[in-house]
Amino acid sequence: MDVPAIDEALEKLPSHEATYRRLRDMVLFGELAPGQAVTIQGLTEKLESGMTPVREAIRRLTAEGALEFQDNRRVCVPRLTAAQLEELAFAKLALEPHLTCLALRNATPQSIAHVAAIDAELDTAIAAGDVSGYLRHNYRFHFAIYDIADAPILTAIAQSLWLRFAPSLRVVCGRIGTDNLPDQHTEAVAAMRANDADALRQAIIEDMTQGIQQVRLALANGKI
Amino acid sequence: MDVPAIDEALEKLPSHEATYRRLRDMVLFGELAPGQAVTIQGLTEKLESGMTPVREAIRRLTAEGALEFQDNRRVCVPRLTAAQLEELAFAKLALEPHLTCLALRNATPQSIAHVAAIDAELDTAIAAGDVSGYLRHNYRFHFAIYDIADAPILTAIAQSLWLRFAPSLRVVCGRIGTDNLPDQHTEAVAAMRANDADALRQAIIEDMTQGIQQVRLALANGKI
DNA sequence: CTTTCACATATATGATCAAAATTAAACGGG
DNA sequence: CCCGTTTAATTTTGATCATATATGTGAAAG
C-alpha cells in the first residue's frame, strides 16, 4: 500500500484536476509569494497544460481565496492585511480545534500511528532546517487528522483557510528559519492516544496561535 | 446614483462573471433542488452563455460547495446528509454571530436604516407567503450586515455556508410555508440601533438555530 | 445477462477577438 | 537642453468560441 509517485498519480486524473492540484500545492508550499502575479500563459508552460484547464484551476483557487482577481482582470496571490489576518485567526481558532477533536470519534491506533509518522517526518525537516519540508509535512499532519474526522465541509473550509494563510507563513519561515516555528504536535499525538479531547484542543490552539503570532509580528513590521 | 437594473448591471461584467452570479442565485434562491443535476449544455441555453463561461462558473461554485462533482463527471446540487448538516450548523454558529457583531464597529444610522428597510421587504414577503421573496430578502438582510462588517474573508466563508444550506432550506420553506420560518430580525435591528452586541449575537443565534432546526426535522423525516 | 453500438455529455485544443500593459515617441514647461 | 507628462504604437494577456476527442450512458441485439 505504498503511495505512487506524485506525477504518476496525477497522470490518471483529468487535466483540469491535475492542474488544480499542482497550482494549489504551489500556493500551499511556497512557490508563490504574497502579491505575486500569475498569468494563464505562464502557467500553461510551467504546468504543461492547456489554457482551459489552467483557467478552470484558477477559478477554483480564486473561489477558495488562494488567488485573487485584480480590478484589471489579472490574477495574483493575495497579500494579507492586518485586518484580514485577524479574520483568519478567528476562523482558524473557531473551526480547526473543533475539527481536530472530531477526529477522536473515528481514530484508531492505526490512524493515530499514521499521524505520528508524519510528525516524525516533520521533526526531521525541522532539524534539517528544511523550510519547504516543514510546510509540506505540517500541512499533511493537520489534514491527516481532518481526514480521520471525516467532516468534508469543515475540512473544505479549513483548506481554504490554509490556502489563504500559507503564502504569508512561507515568508515568515524563510525569515526566522524552522527553529522558532510552532510544533505542539507531539502533545497533540499524545492527547489523541489518550483520547483526551481537552488536551488535544489545547495543543492545537497553541500550535495555531504560535503560527498566527509569527505572521502577526512580521506583518506589523512590514516584512510581508 | 441610482442602482441599475440587474440585467443591465450584468451586461457590463465579463460573461463568466455574469454567468457565475446567475447560477449562484439559482442555487441560493431555489431554482435548483438538492440532488438536481445540471449539464453544461443545459446551462448555456438557460443562461444564454457560451460553454467556457459556464464551465468556469461551475468550477467556482463547486469550489464553494454549491455544486458537486459526481464520480462520473456529472455535476449536481449536493444533497445534505445529517452529519453534513451538523457540520454546517457548527460552522454557521461559530462564525456568523461573530461576523454580525463585527458590523457594530462600522454601523451608522444610515447603514442600519438600510438593513431595516430590507427587513421590511422581508416582512412583506412573509405576509404574502412569498417563499422566493423570503429566501431572497433573508439573504439580503444578513449579507447587508456582513457588508457593514467589512470582513471579506469571513463573508466569503459565510457565502459558502449559505450556498450549501440554501437548497435544503428552500425545500423546507416550500413545505411549511413562510409562517413558521425564523425571523429574529426585528430584535437584531433593535440591538444594532442600541449598539448592544450581546443582544445582537443572541438574536442571530436564535435566527440561525430556528432555520437549522427546521431543516434538521425535515431531514430526519426523509423529506429532503 | 452480456456485449455492442449509437448517442449524449464532458474534456481539451487552438484560433480569434478584445482589452490592458508596456514601450516608444512626441510634446511642452522649466 | 533636460525632464516629466502625455499620446500613440506594439505586445502581452485575457475572454470567448468552434471544434475535435474522449468518456460514460442507455438501448438494442445476441
Give pLDDT, residue B2.
31
* Domain co-membership, A119 together with A173: yes
Grid cell digits, residue A214? 509569527
Phi, psi at residue A113, to the nearest 5°? -65, -35
Interatomic CA–C1' length for residue B11 and nucleotide C26, angstroms? 38
Q: Which of B76, B104, B125 is the last residue of a domain?
A: B76
Nearest-angstrom CA–CA distance, B80 and B71: 17
Give pLDDT, residue B8.
47
* Domain co-membership, B59 together with B90: no
User: Does residue A104 contact residue A192 with C-beta atoms inside 8 Å?
Assistant: yes
Grid cell digits, residue A3? 503511495
Phi, psi at residue B64, to the nearest 5°? -85, 0
* Domain co-membership, B98 together with B203: yes
| pLDDT higher than threshold 70 for residue A7 | no
| B206 domain residue, yes or no | yes
| B1 domain residue, yes or no | no
Q: Which residues of B touch A (CB under 8 A)?
A: 14, 16, 52, 55-56, 59-65, 73, 83-84, 87-88, 90-91, 94-95, 98, 150-154, 156-157, 160, 164
Count how many domains chain A has. Answer: 2
* Domain co-membership, B105 together with B214: yes
What is the mean predicted confidence (pLDDT) over B214-222?
92
- How many alpha carbons fall within 13 Å on the CB side of residue B48? 4
User: Does residue B54 contact residue B48 with C-beta atoms inside 8 Å?
Assistant: no
| A1 domain residue, yes or no | no
Nearest-angstrom CA–CA distance, A145 and A193: 13
Q: Which of B47, B76, B105 is the last residue of a domain?
A: B76
Give pLDDT, residue B9.
54
| A16 domain residue, yes or no | yes
User: Does residue B215 contact residue B224 with C-beta atoms inside 8 Å?
Assistant: yes
- Closest by CA to B167, choosing from B100, B88, B72, is B88
pLDDT digits (tens, 9 = 90+) for A10-42: 557 888 999 999 999 999 998 899 999 999 999
- Pick from B45-54, B98-107, B168-177 the range whose average pLDDT is largest: B98-107
Distances (CA, A) of B86 to A146, A153, B65, B92, B170: 16, 10, 15, 10, 18
Q: Which residue range(s) make up the domain with B204? A: 82-220
pLDDT-derived band at A1, boundaries 50, 70, 90: very low
Amino acid in position A218 = A
pLDDT digits (tens, 9 = 90+) for A115-174: 999 999 999 999 998 999 999 999 999 999 999 999 999 999 999 999 999 999 999 998
Residue with the bigger pLDDT between A5 and A192: it is A192
| A128 domain residue, yes or no | yes
User: Does residue A201 contact residue A97 with C-beta atoms inside 8 Å?
Assistant: yes
Is B90's CB within 8 Å of A84's CB? no
* Domain co-membership, B68 together with B138: no
What is the mean predicted confidence (pLDDT) over B124-148?
94
| pLDDT higher than threshold 70 for residue B11 | no
Interacting residues of A126 by C-beta distance below 8 A, sequence separation 6+: A134, A178, A179, A181, A183
* Domain co-membership, B70 together with B114: no
* Total CB pairs under 8 A between chain A and B: 72
Query: Is the Cβ atom of A15 within 7 Å of strand C at any atom?
Result: yes
Give pLDDT, residue A9.
53
Query: Is the Cβ atom of A69 within 7 Å of strand C at any atom?
Result: no
Q: Which of A47, A76, A105 is the last residue of a domain?
A: A76
| pLDDT higher than threshold 50 for residue B5 | no
Query: Is the Cβ atom of A51 within 7 Å of strand C at any atom?
Result: yes
* Domain co-membership, A190 together with A128: yes
* Domain co-membership, A35 together with A109: no
| B133 domain residue, yes or no | yes
Give pLDDT, residue A90.
98
Residues in a beta bridge with A38: A75
Protein-covered nucleotides on strand D (Cβ within 7 A): 12-19, 23-25
Interatomic CA–C1' length for residue A36 and nucleotide C29, angstroms? 38
Nearest-angstrom CA–CA distance, B39 and B47: 12
CA-based radius of gyration for chain A: 18
* Domain co-membership, B25 together with B11: yes
CATH code at position A143: 1.20.120.530
Distances (CA, A) of B15 to A52, A155, B10, B58, B60: 15, 31, 8, 13, 14
pLDDT-derived band at A80, boundaries 50, 70, 90: very high
Distances (CA, A) of B179 to A16, A56, A150: 46, 42, 36
Name the least confident of A4-13, A175-184, B98-107, B121-130.
A4-13
* Domain co-membership, B70 together with B91: no
Which residues in chain A have Cβ-Cβ distances shorter than 8 Å to B88?
Answer: 153
Nearest-angstrom CA–CA distance, A193 and A108: 9
What is the mean predicted confidence (pLDDT) over A1-14?
51
Angle between helices B131-149 and B152-176 (to 10 degrees): 160
pLDDT digits (tens, 9 = 90+) for A176-210: 888 778 788 999 999 999 999 999 999 999 999 99
What is the mean predicted confidence (pLDDT) over B46-64?
94
What is the mean predicted confidence (pLDDT) over B44-52?
92
* Domain co-membership, A71 together with A113: no
Nearest-angstrom CA–CA distance, A159 and B117: 37
Please tell me the pTM assigned to this model: 0.92
* Domain co-membership, B115 together with B183: yes
